[in-house]
Amino acid sequence: MALIWAVKKQLLLLLAFWLVNFVPSSQGKGNFYEFRYPFIKRASSFPSVSSSSSSGHNNGYDYIVVGGGTAGCPLAATLSKNFNVLVLERGGVPFSNANVSFLQNFHIALADTSPTSASQPFVSTDGVINTRARVLGGGSCINAGFYTRASTRFIKRVGWDAKIVNESYPWIEKQIVHQPKLEPWQVAIRDSLLSVGVSPFNGFTYDHVYGTKVGGTIYDRFGRRHTSAELLSSGNPQKLTVLVYATVQKIVFDISGKKPRAVGVIFKDEKGNQHQALLADKPQSEVILSTGAIGSPQMLLLSGIGPKADLQKLKIPVVLDNKFVGKGMADNPMNAVFVPSSKPEKQTLIETVGITKMGVYIEGSSGFSQSKDSIQCHHGIMSAEIGQLSTIPPKQRTPEAIQAYIRSKKNLPHEAFRGGFILEKIASPLSKGDLSLVNTNVDDNPSVTFNYFSHPYDLQRCVDGIRMATKVVQSEHFTNYTKCDRQTAEKVLDMSVKANVNLIPKHTNDTKSLEQFCKDTVITIWHYHGGCHVGTVVSPEHKVLGVDRVRVVDGSTFSESPGTNPQATVMMMGRYFGVKIVRERLGTAAGFKLLYSGTNKLRNGVENIVDKPLAKDVVVVKRIRIRIIAIKIVIEQEE
């Protein structure tokens, strides 16, 4: 009986998944997501500057959110409950993109460097290959999916209201976060971490606690990714407009008063035509930047807010001289220790993590050399054709160079291409860099420097982390599971320093120095942050200092990356500031009501009915709630 119910349940889940995500609108036109997200439109549908002076909205928008990313989507959804919101996203939608949607294509999404890709690659001046999101949903569409909250210390340090924080995280989790089914590779990581002293085992938890734990994931049981873009379905479709392929070029300011005042933005659509979107003529209306740690300082600079001398060199009219815009950039440096296996491993992304008191995090992944499509991938550690241990840098991808490396990789144990890797990364790096414009083209990446390991404490922690990661690889839990002896593991480690995972010149004659190993093999985990720090660029409320009606809500305001992986906190941050802004304008009671509003499609529908002042509708709602609870109880009992 239980087996029959389980099969029925799986079929019902698949049917629901299909109906919600793939059934087109009743009109039978357009894209499949229009049924669920009728407010998402192409940027070219917006009136041009010459045909409209009111942004397509009679009185302008209460909020213009620049960037429909990890923070921008929950922020816009929250604000739209009470205000007219326009979201401008330079990328497309993630829903029909198989490279974004499915776990097995994770590395392909990163390797796709075409103009329409969900990821836009950039290389820091340090020589490390990196990427930034270019899609609705932002980094949640191209990351490894791991979900874990920030530490309580981080929340206190940034000065956020702990009560709203602790109510905002579950708002995210109930909609798109899942508990992973721990795969054997991840079990081996767990047991190995515990054996080398990363204890205690804290089980499955979202909390940031010392020891070894299993975290959440935005991949469901079918391996399908659920991104921040799906949080838009919690918004009010009557007050929310989302334009994709809308590339904002600058914020427009009125500088006639005592302080520069944002009045709107100029953006171009997918056809290259320009448009102007205007804010409502209200003191509380705002342009909110949520374009990430690269995009937000870049946008402020392009809009005339930044170091005066730098702006004048590029002939950008100076709105506000602020020498701190783009400063204090940081990235959590990561190094990989490769794990050979006697058999092909199943593809897994991060599920288990070791949180040490020395400020080093240990994670792991496996199986991404096995995909048939991997032969086309050449991006950092995700390359397969030229070895799981390397990639030829983009400017050196000549046929001769690739063939030369293919020949040299024959010296590597065959087992190296069947396994995975253990990742060690440094928390809260003290090494800092900066960001500056190369030109005034918003489509081009700015120049970014992270200065990896320029601070000796970061380098020392990396050495400690590499030693621990090596112990994990050589533990009996891994050698028993992979059926590879310690000698094979040591050979892979010795040769991995030669892997071209970055553009940094190698010192392969000094591989016994772990300090040099750290510098030679440093890669990114996409946790860059800074550039719009609180206190120098924005206020504690994240309002841009020195101007009116501009706010920044994303990781560019962080002085450290929260938790082991930041996406949970960045998504929560969007919800958090949405609630805070509503409270600022409508009072605490409105914010309290918003916090306890529905967190899924059914409950949202129920609330829409409750808002109607008809007693019979309230009765219907109560019956619906009873049925929902009953169904939930039956499912939980069967499980």
**Pair 182, 149: CB distance under 8 Å:** no
**Which letter does DSSP use for residue 305 in this model?**
E
**Pair 365, 337: CB distance under 8 Å:** no
Catalytic positions, please?
Answer: 527
Q: Is 89 annotated as a binding residue?
A: yes
**Quick count: other Cβ atoms within 10 Å of Cβ 187?**
15
- CB burial of 407-418 (b: ≥16 within 10 Å; e: otherwise) equals eebeebbebbbb
Distance CA 576, CA 75 (A): 8
Where in 513-631 does DSSP place strands (E)?
A: 523-524, 550-552
Q: List, in order, residues 6 or more apart from 200 with CB less than 8 Å away.
A: 211, 212
SS (H, E, C) 392-407: CCHHHCCHHHHHHHHH
Distance CA 150, CA 162 (A): 12
Whether residue 283 has a cis bond before it, omega within 30° of 0: no
Residue 130's φ and ψ, nearest 5 degrees, are -140, 180
Distance CA 579, CA 170 (A): 14
Q: Is 566 annotated as a binding residue?
A: yes
Q: Which two tokens stand for residue 467?
A: 């030693």
Q: Is 555 annotated as a binding residue?
A: yes
**Pair 268, 44: CB distance under 8 Å:** no
By DSSP bridging, strand 201-204 and strand 211-214 are: parallel
Q: List, in order, residues 6 or more apart from 303 with CB less than 8 Å away.
A: 250, 251, 253, 319
**Pair 453, 462: CB distance under 8 Å:** yes
- As annotated, the binding site includes 89-90, 135, 248, 526-527, 555, 566-567
- As annotated, the binding site for FAD includes 89-90, 135, 248, 526-527, 555, 566-567
